[in-house]
Amino acid sequence: MKPIATRVASALAILIVLASCSTLQRMSDEKGAAWVAQQLNEGKAAELAAISSSPFLLDGEIIALPEDTTAFWNGLVKAGLKLDTELSRALPVGPDTWREFGSTRDVQVFFGKYVAEGARLFELSTANGRRVLVLYRSSWGSRKLYGFKGPY
Share of the chain above pLDDT 90, in %: 79
Determine the average pLDDT of the residues in 45-71. Answer: 98
137-150 per-position pLDDT tens digit: 998 889 999 999 99
- Between 72 and 14, the more confident residue is 72
Fold observed for domain 24-149: Nuclear Transport Factor 2; Chain: A, (3.10.450)
pLDDT-derived band at 13, boundaries 50, 70, 90: low
* Furthest C-alpha separation in the chain: 63
Average pLDDT of the chain, as a whole number: 91
pLDDT-derived band at 22, boundaries 50, 70, 90: confident
pLDDT-derived band at 64, boundaries 50, 70, 90: very high
Is the pLDDT at 111 greater than 70? The verdict is: yes
pLDDT-derived band at 5, boundaries 50, 70, 90: low
Provide the residue type at 65 as one letter: L
